[in-house]
Chains A and B, each alone.
Chain A
Amino acid sequence: AQSVSQHNHHVILSEAASLELGCNYSYGGTVNLFWYVQYPGQHLQLLLKYFSGDPLVKGIKGFEAEFIKSKFSFNLRKPSVQWSDTAEYFCAVNALLSSGSARQLTFGSGTQLTVLP
């Protein structure tokens, strides 16, 4: 079964610090990768996605992620965080369902980011 690991459960940073959130997946086939963000009290919103091509993808609000196939990783980065980046961040992998008729997202357990002003 596919799985996604986010090893950092809670990260606390000061404003202007750099951010890197880890995401590793286990899946032997072709993957499509996503980072979603959930601001307090809100629903999940897509931050960025990787389907193919350049392994360095840029998303909204200055976030980027790098797909390293050999390491099964898709880490999220931001050079300088802001207080408004306080949120929970979920990595997700797109995989075929057992029926083969659809694709589902397998989510990591999430990383809570707290940015101190």
Chain B
Amino acid sequence: NAGVTQTPKFRILKIGQSMTLQCTQDMNHNYMYWYRQDPGMGLKLIYYSVGAGITDKGEVPNGYNVSRSTTEDFPLRLELAAPSQTSVYFCASSYGGQGVREQYFGPGTRLTVT
């Protein structure tokens, strides 16, 4: 299994541009998550999904959108990039049934907005 994969690894955007960060998992996990990691701030949840067709906002959703058309894919969309969105973005997945499961993280996307 490849686990959780993310593309691209690095990206530089200009203010106002848009882009989609891709995330795919091959573990048949129903839950998927997007986080951003800023220095000294830990990870903040942007959006999450409990299954195909179901998404919901996390702690810091402003400026982002997501969709979940399949179990495997959970892309994150930035519509109008702003310098405040400069960050490292991690996608994660987990099995979220009645029990509790740990989350598995992708390698991250380092995004710079200038």
Q: Which A residues have a C-beta under 8 Å from some C-beta of B?
A: 4, 9, 32, 34, 36, 42-46, 49, 51, 90, 94, 97, 99, 101-105, 107-110
Q: Is the CB of A101 within 8 A of B107?
A: no
Which A residues touch B50, using CB under 8 A? 101-102
B-side interface residues, number (CB < 8 Å): 23
The stretch of B14-22, B36-44, B74-82 in contact with A is B36-44
Nearest Cβ distance between residue A53 and chain B, in whole angstroms? 13
Contact bitstring B86-104, A, C-beta under 8 A = 1, else 0: 0000101000100010111
For B44, list chain A residues within 8 Å (CB): 107
B90's partner among A4, A43, A108 (CB-CB below 8 A) is A43
Query: Which B residues are CB-close (under 8 A) to A36?
Result: 105
Q: Does the CB pair A51–B100 fall under 8 Å?
A: yes
**CA–CA, A107 to B58, complex, Å?**
13
Which residues of the partner chain A approach B106 to less than 8 Å between Cβ atoms?
43
In angstroms, Cα B99 to Cα A103, docked, is 10
Quick one: which of B40, B48, B102 contacts A102, CB cutoff 8 A?
A: B48
Report B-chain residues with C-beta under 8 Å of the C-beta of A101: 50, 56
